[in-house]
Amino acid sequence: MKTGPSFRHILFLLFLLIVLQACEERVQIDLRDAESVPVIEGVLTDKRGNAFVKLSATVDYFHTGEFPVISGADVQILRDEGAPFVMIEESPGLYINYVARGIPGQKYTLRVAFEGEVYTGVSTMPSKVYIDSLVPEYFEGTRFSEEGFLVHCFFTDPAEQKNYYRLRVLKGNFQSNFYYLLDDRLNNGMSIHYFLFGKPFLPGDTAVVELMNLDFPTFDYYNSLSSVVASSTQGMGTTPANPNSNLFPEVLGYFGALAVDRDTIVFPDHPE
């Protein structure tokens, strides 16, 4: 009987939420003795050294070990012009190419082959939108939240195209648990300002903010993943479906070609 994703599957989705096309049919995983399903997470950006593909597999609900990785796969990112970017397995299940760099406006195809199966995903890298400024905003602590600084991010949306964004904030090895996802449906061609809520920063801390420009299938994956995690962690009564994926044949995960702008802010010693 189909019962939706297993608890361990949900844990894996939470893992994807912390670390970082529109196939409408969704995969459902049996709770007991489920067949292992590949999980593919692939990213190419417009900056060298950021291309990676992570390969793993789901496990049975009663499995107590770690999620198994997939080693020995043939992994490439194909491009319309030029030779493919060959991804080298740097550690079990992690494939890297340190010189691969995408170009906005170009289409890229992830190709993963292992155990006689070939999986592909297509993503077009959008034009880059740049961060205009990062402003520190101080908030007094309450019984529900700690005091400290949050980041107020400003950028300008171009009017001539549809844009999809993901924002990420980093502090050392810390990455916010929140999905900062938005599109320009209500802000086309306007200046956008966005509060990056989450764990507050202290005076003297440094935050790195990334503004990721996504195509729609990648945005759709992140958006549906956010809904899955929310429904599983908030105790909603409905059984969550798996996130929408741009991979074929249908497996868990996604491939995204992202144009990324990055800026840094150092928080002042005293609130203004």
pLDDT for 24 equals 36
Domains in the chain, please, with CATH? Answer: 7-126+214-258 (no CATH), 131-213+261-266 (2.60.40)
Which pair of tokens denotes residue 116? 């006689």
| Residue position matching structure tokens 């905003």 | 137
For residues 244 and 2, give the distance between their C-alpha atoms in angstroms, rounded to a whole number. 18
Is residue 271 scored above 50 in pLDDT? yes
Report the alpha-carbon distance of residue 207 to residue 15 in Å, rounded: 22
Q: What pLDDT digit, counting tens, does each position of 50-106 carry?
A: 999 999 998 654 555 567 899 999 999 999 989 999 999 999 999 999 999 999 999
* Alpha-carbon gap, residue 73 to 114, rounded angstroms: 5
Residue 152 clears pLDDT 90, i.e. is over it: yes
Q: What pLDDT does 2 receive?
A: 39
Q: Which residues are paired to 181 by β-bridges?
A: 166
Q: What is the pLDDT of residue 16?
A: 47
Q: Is the pLDDT of residue 33 over 60?
A: no
User: Would you say residue 155 has pLDDT above 70?
Assistant: yes
The conformation of residue 215, written as its DSSP 8-state character, comes to: -
